[in-house]
Amino acid sequence: MSVSAEFVIVGAGSGGSALAYRLVEAGRDVVVIEHGGSDAGPFIQMPGALSYPMNMGIYDWGFQSEPEEHLGGRRLATPRGKVLGGSSSINGMVYVRGHARDFDHWEESGATGWGYADVLPYYKRMEHWHGGEETEWRGRSGPLHVTRGPRANPLFDAFVAAGKAAGYPVTEDYNGQQQEGFGPMEATIYKGRRWSAANAYLRPALKTGKLRIVRGLARRVVFEGKKAVGVEIKRKGQIEVVRATSEVVLAASSINTPKLLMLSGVGPAEHLREHGVEVLADRPGVGANLQDHLEIYMQFAAKQPVTLFKYWNLYGKARVGAQWLFTKGGLGASNQFESCAFIRSDAGIDYPDIQYHFLPIAVRYDGKAAAEGHGFQAHVGPMRSKSRGHVRLSSSDPEAKPEIKFNYMSHPDDWAEFRKCVRLTREIFAQGPMAAHVKHEIQPGAAVETDEQIDAFIREHAESAYHPCGTAKMGAADDPSAVVDPEGRVIGVEGLRVADSSVFPRITNGNLNAPSIMVGEKMADHLLGRAPLARENLEPWVAPNWQVAQR
C-alpha cells in the first residue's frame, strides 16, 4: 500500500509534532513517520514517574556515547524518545525557553531571522502559560500548557532564599524578562499529566483527519536528481516509500537526523564514501558541532525528615501512584523540579552560564541509589561548553546505531567552569536558609577541595543532562559548516528541510524541549511560505553591573 502526502515529516517528537500541527491547521495534508509506539500508560503520563520511561527500551532508542576520553573512558547514556511525542514523552518536563542572548548569538552566527525579537512571538504562540499575571512576555492561548509546581516542600523556598542570602537576584519568571536569578521552575505538566508534544500537538492534529501517522523505521530520504521526493521506510518487515508531493522534513532528533542525512548522501563526502554511500551533497557540517550540557549532582544529607525519601520504598511509591491514578494529584503530579536558578559564574559574563535544578531527594536520574536516607540535591552545570563532538555513521545499515562522540570536557575552560559550579554551590548551601537543613555534604563530600580533587570527581561523576543538539547547524547558505539555511532548507539539495534541535547553531541556556518546539513552530511558517510573525522588541533584563561583578 503506497502512502503519499503533501508534506512528509520524519519524527513525531517536539519539532515534528509542532510542525505537523501548524501545517494541518493551514489545511495541508501531512504524514508523520514514527518508529516508536504509543505513549499511553502511567509511566509516561505520570510526571512523578519520569525516571522510568527514559530507561525503558520500548520508549528509548538506547544510544550511548563512544568512550569519552576526558571522562575516564566512560560511555554516557544518550536517551532519545522512540515513542509518540519523542523525547518530550520521556524527558524531565522542565520548560526553559533559553536566554534572549542565545538567540541573538544564533542570528550573529548566520541564522538570520532567529534573533530573540524573531523567536519571542513563536514562544508566545505556542504557550498556554498558567504562571501568573498577564504579561507581554508570555502566551496565554497556545496548545502547550506550562505550569508551576505547588512548591509545598519547604526545601524549595529554602533554596531560593539561600540564593538571595548569597547575594543573587530572585526572578519571578526566568522565561520572561529576567532569566538570571533564583525562582520557581516551570514544567510541561497540565492537570497532573505530562503535557508532551503528543498531547499538545499530535492528538489535536489527528482529530482533523489531515494528519496520518505511519509507523516504520525511516531508512533514507529518496531523491530524484537533487530533489527529495519521499522517505524509504521499513514497515512490518517490508521496504516501502512514503512519497511527498511538496517537501520532506527531518525532525528525527539531533542524533537520527544527521544519521538520515548521511544515509541519504548528504554529509562529509569522504566519510560517506568510506561507508559506500553515494555523495549527493558534500556538507561537512552534517553530524559535526554536537553539543550537550553536562551536570553533576551536589548531594546533601538532610537534618529533618522533610525530603521525598519517605516515599522511596515500595509502599510509598504505590501510595503516590494510586493517588495519581485516581485523582491526577499528589506528588505523582509533579516532576519534583519546582525551584531553579540561573547565575553567572564570573564578572565580565553578561548572562547566566550556570543552571541549577533543585530536587528534594538525593537520587540519580535513573532512579537508582537513593543516597543515605533523607537528603536533597542540586543538579548544576555550565551552559556554554566550548567542547564539540560529532555523530557519524557506524555502518551504511540503517538499523545500525550511529557513532556518537561528544568530546565532553575536551576544552580547558570546561574544567574551570565546573570547579566554579562546585564552589559556588557550596557557598549557596552554606547560607542560613539552607544551612538549617544541611547535615553534611554527601557528594562530592567535604574532603573534595582542591582543583585536582574536584576534577577527579567530575571525571568520574559528571552526567549528561540529555540536551544533545547542533548536528545540522543553521547558518548562511555560503557557510561551509552550515547544513540548513535560515528557513530550514538543506543546503545543496531541494525539497528537504530540518526542524529539530539539530539546527541549533549553539546550545541554548537550560533544557532544550521548549526551543525544539519553537523551531517546529517557526519552520511551519517557512514551509507555508508565510511572512514570519512580527518581531517583538522587548528589552530583556541584563545585570547592570555584569562587567564588574559576578552577582
* CB distance 371 to 442 below 8 Å: yes
Enumerate residues 6+ apart whose C-beta is below 8 A from 499: 9, 15, 16, 19, 249, 250, 251, 488, 519, 520, 523, 524
Query: DSSP characters for 408-461?
Result: TT-SHHHHHHHHHHHHHHHHHHTSHHHHTTEEEEEETTTT--SHHHHHHHHHHH
Task: Give SS3 for 234.
Answer: strand
Residue 203, H or E segment: helix 203-207
Task: Identify whether 467 is a catalytic site residue.
Answer: yes
Amino acid at 402: P
Enumerate residues 6+ apart whose C-beta is below 8 A from 315: none
For residue 461, CA distances in Å to 76, 373, 464, 503 come to 11, 20, 10, 29
Locate 424 and state its grid cell.
Answer: 559556588
Round to whole Å and give the CA distance between 461 and 454: 10
Sign of the dihedral defined by the CA atoms of residues 66, 67, 71, 77, in that order: positive
Burial class, 476, CB count within 10 angstroms (exposed 0-12 / middle 13-18 / buried 19+) = middle
Amino acid at 241: V
SS (H, E, C) 270-293: HHHHHCCCCCCEECCCCCCCEECC
The active-site residue out of 35, 374, 467, 526 is 467
Round to whole Å and give the CA distance between 74 and 331: 34
* CB distance 42 to 325 below 8 Å: yes
For residue 77, CA distances in Å to 100, 144, 214, 285 come to 30, 28, 28, 24
Round to whole Å and give the CA distance between 88 and 542: 30
φ, ψ at 252 (rounded to 5°):
-100, 10
Catalytically active residues are 467
